[in-house]
Structure 1
Amino acid sequence: MNVRIGLGKPIARAQVGLEWTDLLPALDSVNFPMLWALDPYGDAVFNERQVPLLLAELDRLPEVYGGEWVNQARELCQVVQSGVHRFLWFVGD
């Protein structure tokens, strides 16, 4: 995970990544549309208007999905919200 201004180089990075498990694809796409969109092989990019939705999903994410990645995703969401033209990237393989 990282934050970029536009398509530029990252200005902030997570220290840990999201460990892909069989649980993530099982998320309900209606209740977790932002997290459901994550793909282990492709990038997912969230803009400043989508970040509040992502934060709300992280707040109600069942504990079994948790881990340090959730805390770091929240921190990176704050970086996105602290400026303009910033995007949160989940980078796939």
Structure 2
Amino acid sequence: MAVRGDSGEVVARAEGGVKWTAAFADLDPAGFPMLRALTPYGDAVFNQRQVPLLLTELDRLPAVLGGDWVGQARQLCQVVERGTHLYLWFIGD
């Protein structure tokens, strides 16, 4: 996970990443539209308007999908919210 600006410059980076499990695919698309965008191989990008929705979903995330990455994602969301022209990237393999 990383926060990047319009130019692609990395502004902040997480130390870890999402530990992918099949349980992500089982999330309800209506209840978790932001997190359903995550895939193990592709990138997912969230802008300033999407970050509050992502944070709400992180609050309701089933424990089986939790981990250190959730706190790191929250911190990166705050970076995006405080800045301008910043995006939170979940980077797949």
Between stretches 20-29 and 5-14, larger displacement belongs to: 5-14
Q: What residue in structure 2 maps to residue 90 of structure 1? A: 90
Secondary structure at the residue paired with 1:16?
coil
Shift of 1:40: 1.0
Instruction: In structure 1, list runs of 5 or more residues that go unmatched.
Output: none
Q: What residue in structure 1 maps to residue 58 of structure 2? A: 58
Shift of 1:72: 0.2
Give structure 1 regions of 4+ aligned residues with deviation exceeding 2 angstroms: none
Q: What residue in structure 1 maps to residue 30 of structure 2? A: 30
CA distance in 2, matches of 1:27, 1:85: 29
Instruction: In structure 2, list runs of 5 or more residues that go unmatched.
Output: none
Give a deviation string over 1:10-57, Cα, whole Å, max 9, x none.
110001100111111111110000001111111000000000000000
Between stretches 39-48 and 7-16, larger displacement belongs to: 7-16
CA distance in 1, matches of 2:49, 2:7: 17
RMSD over equivalenced CA pairs, Å? 0.7
**TM-score normalised by length of structure 2:** 0.97
User: Number of aligned pairs?
Assistant: 93
CA distance in 1, matches of 2:46, 2:71: 17
